[in-house]
Amino acid sequence: MAVVSLINADRLWTRLMALAEIGATPAGGVNRQALSDGEIAAWRSVIGWAQEAGLRAATDAAGNLFLTLAGRDRAAPPVLVGSHLDSQPTGGKFDGAAGVMAALEVVVSLAERGQTPERDVIVVAWMNEEGCRFAPGMMGSEVFTGVRGIEAIRAVRDASGISVGEALDRLHAAFADLPRKPLGFAAAAYLELHIEQGPLLEAADRTIGVVTGIQGKKTFQVVIAGAEGHAGTLPQQERRDAVAAFARMAAALHAEIGGIDAEIKFTIGRITVEPNAPSVVPSRVTFSIDLRYPDNGVLDVTGARVAALCHRQAPPCAVTITPLVEAPSNDFEPRLRERIARAAHDQGLPAMAILSAAGHDARHLAKVCPAAMIFIPCRDGASHVEHEWAEPAHIAAGASVLARVLRDLAFSDQSCAAEA
């Protein structure tokens, strides 16, 4: 069958299921949080499978795992392909793991056929994508791409007081024989296969999602300051009622921001009122805004309008707006997207363009090299749950598309960076 000709689909599935045993939960999910004993055990299995095929394992100071198939030109920037091995505490078998295991299967298959790429091909598992034990996530890819410094992530502690630094030292002690790569190195391209974590591919009956980008996100904290007063005696026109100001703001924001178009995601998710007493005019309201949009320009303009609307509706109260998260949207490399679409088409796999509503390590890699993602369906769009499920045929199809694109990139003696 053409779909699986570049990989061994049965081995991929068997190994993915074996990996899911590490940190398996009674309800069929996976609890394999970042830098835990489970992740160390997962590293042992994955490194073992890679070394069997002659790949060389290495790590870096940020606890990223690299498995290299050496190319002809060792000095040329490598192609990176992978995802993450950590999970949510009640996560599934596929989020992250499917991408790492598909990448490994593709590269192991190349090695077994005795094929030497023009440049190194490196399977990568990024440290702490999920951001559950240590928040926020995507630490490995953020340090690799210079978004955060290694000292900043080493200082982060989990709920029991263990720091990322201590956990990283423990990981490195468990793999003392692994060489260390420098923190961040030039890459020719980055590819990541991932389950969609949403319902669109399944609804459209498509096997391959050609990911156009990851939608941007801004969050704000808004504080409205009014004045307390007696609910029975203070004349209405003299009040500086923070809840009244909030009601005007929320109505205006929902109408004028939330109503822009179908692609906008606008949420006021948390509201606190002070003093929160039935017979006291409220003096203070604090609320959160979560704003997401695929287009960065629109997101910026919309973010600015949030502030303007709040200021317009505030009087006679005062308002302060504090931006918290600023994660711009990104577009994946158009020529890599085209290669993915072509690879799917050539193999008779139904594909569609799709925007990622969730964040991924590829968002950061896209800042330093051409990057792209391949989505495959997951049942009912469910992810970060123990019953998360992807069909073996879809895993095989995604890996097969990955294999085709990787072959295009790694067996070209031109620079992918210049070409892509």
**256, 211, 191, 19 alpha-carbon torsion, rounded to 10°:** 100
Quote the strand ranges of 127-268, DSSP E: 189-195, 208-214, 216-225, 229-230, 265-267
Q: Which is nearer to Zn ion, 129 or 408 (CB)?
A: 129
Are 287 and 270 within 8 A, CB to CB?
Answer: yes
Binding site residues, Zn ion, CB under 5 A: 95-96
Q: Which is nearer to Zn ion, 141 or 329 (CB)?
A: 141
CB of 164 to Zn ion, least distance (A): 19
Q: For residue 324, what are the contacts with CB-CB under 8 A and spacing of at least 6? A: 219, 220, 221
CB of 327 to Zn ion, least distance (A): 16
Q: Which is nearer to Zn ion, 82 or 96 (CB)?
A: 96
b (16+ CB within 10 A) / e for 98-131 = bbbbbbbbbbbbbbeeeeebbbbbbbbbbbbbbb
Alpha helix segments (H runs only) across 53-175: 97-112, 139-144, 150-154, 164-174
Quote the strand ranges of 34-107, DSSP E: 56-59, 65-69, 79-84
CB of 23 to Zn ion, least distance (A): 15
Q: Which is nearer to Zn ion, 136 or 258 (CB)?
A: 136
Q: CA 284 → CA 135, 192, 273, 397, distances in Å?
A: 29, 46, 6, 55
CB of 84 to Zn ion, least distance (A): 6
Containing 397, the helix (H) or strand (E) segment is helix 392-410
Q: Which is nearer to Zn ion, 86 or 105 (CB)?
A: 86
Q: Which is nearer to Zn ion, 141 or 347 (CB)?
A: 141
CB of 340 to Zn ion, least distance (A): 18
Q: Which is nearer to Zn ion, 86 or 408 (CB)?
A: 86
Placement of tokens 């997951």 in the chain: 378
Q: For residue 201, what are the contacts with CB-CB under 8 A and spacing of at least 6? A: 207, 208, 209, 352, 354, 375, 376, 377
CB of 12 to Zn ion, least distance (A): 18
- 70: its two tokens: 């050496």
CB of 162 to Zn ion, least distance (A): 23
- Measured over all CA atoms, what is the biggest interatomic distance in the chain, rounded to whole angstroms? 87
Are 118 and 412 within 8 A, CB to CB?
Answer: yes
Considering Cα of 167, then 173, then 175, then 180, what sign does the dihedral take? positive
Angle at CA of residue 187, ends 184 and 192, nearest 5° = 100
CB of 130 to Zn ion, least distance (A): 7
Q: Which is nearer to Zn ion, 100 or 317 (CB)?
A: 100
Alpha helix segments (H runs only) across 113-241: 139-144, 150-154, 164-174, 200-204
Q: Which is nearer to Zn ion, 200 or 225 (CB)?
A: 200
CB of 131 to Zn ion, least distance (A): 10
CB of 52 to Zn ion, least distance (A): 26
Are 282 and 241 within 8 A, CB to CB?
Answer: yes
Q: Give burial (CB, 10 Å; 0-12/13-18/19+) of 420.
A: buried
Q: Which is nearer to Zn ion, 105 or 241 (CB)?
A: 105
CB of 268 to Zn ion, least distance (A): 27
Residue 159 CB: number of other CB atoms within 10 A?
8
Q: Which is nearer to Zn ion, 224 or 365 (CB)?
A: 365
